[in-house]
Amino acid sequence: MYAPFVKASDKVKKDVADLSLSDFQPKRFALNYDPPMIILEYLVPSTGKLYHHKMKLRRLTGNSTVAEAIRYLQKRHPLYFIDGKIRADQITELLERLIYRVKQNEELTGKKKENI
């Protein structure tokens, strides 16, 4: 006998948007320099699973400021910045590294992108 077809809507999947803030524990960060992005690894204790969330900063330039970039990230990824889940000093340091690397790359290639 044939197995019944399984529709995508039949599968139960817990979406990140459905998680409560208490069910979200940041673990570590990674940086990607081309394109510039911060990658957050976090644990969802109720499921025991690790997830990665990419925060892209495609318009980041060597002339961008950390404050501009933080505002952009907070606007685009508000769930991860609520209730101090991520410390501002961590993000500041990561953004300084990204801006420094982008600036170096622009000097080497002679390219300038529009500001964030």
Structure tokens at 7: 């529709």
Structure tokens at 37: 């992005």
Query: How many angstroms separate the CA atoms of 104 and 107, rounded?
Result: 5
Q: Is the peptide bond before 35 cis (omega within 30 degrees of 0)?
A: yes
pLDDT tens for residues 19-76? Answer: 565 678 899 999 999 899 999 999 999 889 999 999 999 899 999 999 999 999 999 9
Residue boundaries of the structural domains of the chain? 22-109
Radius of gyration of the chain (CA): 18
For the four alpha carbons of 14, 20, 22 and 25, in that order, the dihedral sign comes to: positive
Evaluate if pTM is beyond 0.85: no
Q: Is the pLDDT of residue 101 over 70?
A: yes
CA separation, residue 14 to residues 11, 46, 52 (Å): 10, 11, 15
